[in-house]
Amino acid sequence: MQSCRFVLVLLATLWVSPSTQASAKKPVAKATQETLRISKAVDAILASEPNAARAFWGVQIFSLDTGSPIYSLNQDRLFTPASNAKLFTTVSALTLLGPEFRTRTTVESSGNIVNGELTGDLILVGRGDPNLSGRVLPYALKTERSTPHLRLLEELADEVLRKGVRVVDGDVVADDSYFAWERFGEGWSQDDLLWEYGAPVSALTLNDNVFFLTIVPGDKAGDPAKIKLDPDIAYYDIDNRVVTAAAASGARKISIDRQPGSKTLTLWGTIPMDDTGYNEALAINDPAEYAAQAFRGMLEARGVKIIGKQRAQHLSPASALPAHLDATVLGGGVNEPLRNILVERRSAALIDDVRVINKVSQNLHAELTLRLLGHEKGTTNTTEAALEAEKGVLAQAGLMPAEYFLVDGSGLSREDLVSPAAVVKLLVYAADQPWAPAFRDSLPLAGTDGSLADRFKKGAAFGRLEAKTGTLGHVNALSGYAQTLGGKHIAFSLLVNNHMLTSKGAQALMDQIMEAVVNDLPAVKIGRKRRAARH
């Protein structure tokens, strides 16, 4: 296969440093001239900022046309990749599950409906659908959401009513045992768990496992601020200590705290009378518990009488199920009777969510995708099994175990490690797959959409570069594909760790490097070429 040839060439090619090449006083080959050009540009860019020079940089620029590297810097060293880890997750999922893979969400019961009464529990079963929300698919240029955010859950409640259920003499159960109950990735920071980007992972995910909090001024100075929740579900106990300040008294000062595992949300600070409002998306502690509460409320609002309580059903990692087994058959693995499916909803195709994951760097969706690998292709429904399944794909792509160490699917973990060379091998492999065009199109396009919408707006790389970004404290990443002005097709990976730059400062330096790589024609020819269509 072409990908194997690329990988073999990559492993076999030995690089001599640019300084050694310059001192050899031999005729310089065209490829070496390109290497020297990029090396000179990278050196100048990194030397322009003292904090950049003190950081740890890794670069690999690889020609998809010749199957060999063009330029390398620390390409075999290990770096924290941040959200570049999503490349590993999405490529593995497309390989093992295929672009059209779909999962489903069901409403089930082990009982029967007799004269409108359901004998037994009513069970909402999640199987990892990340888009039970108002998110509009397919993603096009920006995130769009329709309201209400729990509209799809409302539709399931309507279907239950249409099945003739008027009384549930058991509990309303939200079952997320399709995945073992491992809410957070290994190495996630406690500080992340309050916010949208650190939302817990559950096979039953509603609205990205977040709710939207709005704080607006009270009626007069000194009054408590007003709190609005969307969806309006009283899941958290809110301790509101935010006070309304006089108009023109300065900027708002608001703090939020929730201890891990707690259902008390504490808000404090001040908000001026003339403030338009503070908005934040906050994570839900137990998504299945939240789903059970929301679903029960929807059913009762439709006149269904619930005799029992609402509750979540989890599966501990110690009780993990063999892969490929369905909660419909096993009842969560607790020797329950077979269940009858009352209502079923199919998810969108995997490729639609891969586009969301890569365009906007959606952490939760990446984690759900990883865990689907464990259930569908691993030995158990655990994260560990998912990572083992992923390793099989990476080996197929030519990656060696020493070139990466991954513990989650999103890159939020500080324990993840990859080399620039490993990222490029993965990209070369992906470029040779049947789904390559769709995968490439899932990456943010320079100056156009996703996390690159505001980058590369005016340079040579505009519309010619598709890449996954990555950001953590002191970490930035940019890896993907580009077509140069001279028509060369490249895969690349830029990783920087341990920097004291601002995130925007690090991004600007990366952008300068890639502008230099893409801009490989004499200046007189650039203006006409910049309008060329991307490929």
| DSSP structural state of residue 403 | G
pLDDT tens-digit profile of 147-205?
Answer: 999 999 999 999 999 999 999 999 999 999 999 999 999 999 998 999 999 999 999 99
Mean pLDDT of the chain: 89
Given a cut of 90, whether residue 336 has pLDDT beyond it is no
Helix (H, G, I), strand (E, B) or coil at 20: helix
Over residues 242-268, the pLDDT tens digits come to 999 999 888 899 999 999 889 999 999
DSSP label at residue 429: H
pLDDT at position 325, please? 58
Q: How far is the C-alpha of 143 from the C-alpha of 449, rounded, in Å?
A: 10
For residue 522, cis peptide bond before it (omega within 30 degrees of 0) = no
Looking from the CA of 386 toward its CB, the CA atoms found within 13 Å total 30
Which pLDDT value is given to residue 319? 78
**Residues acting as catalytic residues:** 83, 86, 361
Tally DSSP H helices, then E strands, for the chain: 15, 22
- Cβ neighbourhood burial of 4 (10 Å; 0-12, 13-18, 19+): middle
For residue 4, is pLDDT > 80? no
* CA-to-CA dists, residue 469 to 363, 405, 411, 511, angstroms: 13, 19, 11, 11
Is residue 27's pLDDT more than 80?
A: no
pTM above the 0.85 mark? Answer: yes
pLDDT value at residue 281: 96
- Quote the CA–CA distance of 475 and 209 in Å, as a whole number: 26
Distance (Å, rounded) from C-alpha 113 to C-alpha 462?
Answer: 60
Sign of the dihedral through C-alpha 376, 378, 382, 385: negative
Which of the two residues, 452 and 330, has the higher pLDDT score? 452
Residue 437: burial class (beta carbons within 10 Å; 0-12, 13-18, 19+) = exposed
Cβ atoms within 10 Å, residue 32: 17
pLDDT of residue 100: 98
